[in-house]
Amino acid sequence: MASTDAGYPDSTAELIRTRPLAAAAFAVAIVGGAAILGAWFFQYVLGYMPCALCFEQRYPYYFAIPLALMVVLGDQYGASRKVLIGAMAAIALGMLWNAYLGVYHSGVEWKWWAGPPDCAATLGDIGASGGLLGKLESIRIPRCDEAAWRFLGISLAGYNALISAALAAVAAWGAWMEWRRPGAAEAA
């Protein structure tokens, strides 16, 4: 097996075969990073303001990306296999939860069910102060029940559900492959 000075195989296929945990963690970090960069692109470049549910769907990425990078480093520097497998299982559970949030948010956008009360973007009666009321009326609060953008009939929340489910599967696969790798249990 050819490998680089860092101990990793030269080819992706060889990395997946010989170090599935590191390969899965690397994939989670790269794809998760691309997903969050895409969300920031839609927000800061294209001007699509995220709603409360959109922001909530970013938290698992903020958790999974650095944890996946730590798994890659831990795999490289000989960290406990049990800790690395546990970290990948935690990533899988977090991304599975995020897939649920994406499905839930998509259902809210399609009006299949009601969303949380803080996503309705309605303001109660705040008084008769002319200046303040006028200012509040000019503020646009993003609604969770309106898809800001769709491609092929799927909203950003729908794409998040698909990406999160895929990342959960990759993380679970990496943990499972490492768990059943010969000698991994004894090395833990």
- pLDDT tens column, 19-39: 889 999 999 999 999 999 999
More confident residue, 42 or 36: 36
Using alpha carbons, list the distances in angstroms from residue 17 to 33, 50, 67. 24, 39, 22
Mean pLDDT of the chain: 81
All structural domains of the chain with their residue ranges: 13-187
Q: Contact 99/165 with Cβ under 8 angstroms?
A: yes
- The pLDDT of residue 131: 62
Pair of tokens at residue 46: 């294209």
Phi, psi at 138, each rounded to 5° = -85, -10
Q: What is the 3-state secondary structure (H, E, C) of 122-181?
A: CCCCCCCCHHHHHHHHHCCCCCCCCCCCEECCEEHHHHHHHHHHHHHHHHHHHHHHHHHC
Three-state secondary-structure class, residue 40: helix
Q: How far is CA 63 from the centre of its chain?
A: 8
CB atoms within 10 A of CB 99: 22
- Can you give the three-state secondary structure of 53-69, one letter per residue? HHHHCCHHHHHHHHHHH
Answer whether CATH 1.20.1550 is correct for domain 13-187. yes
1-10, 91-100, 150-159, 175-184: lowest mean pLDDT where? 1-10
Provide, rounded to the nearest whole percent, the portion of the chain with pLDDT above 70. 71
**Rounded to whole angstroms, how far apart are CA atoms 88 and 82?**
10
pLDDT, residue 2, reads 46
pLDDT score for 188: 46
Write the pLDDT tens digit of every residue in 80-136: 899 999 999 999 999 999 999 999 988 888 778 877 777 765 555 455 555 666 656
Q: State yes or no: pLDDT of 5 exceeds 50.
A: no
In the prediction, which pLDDT does 3 show?
47
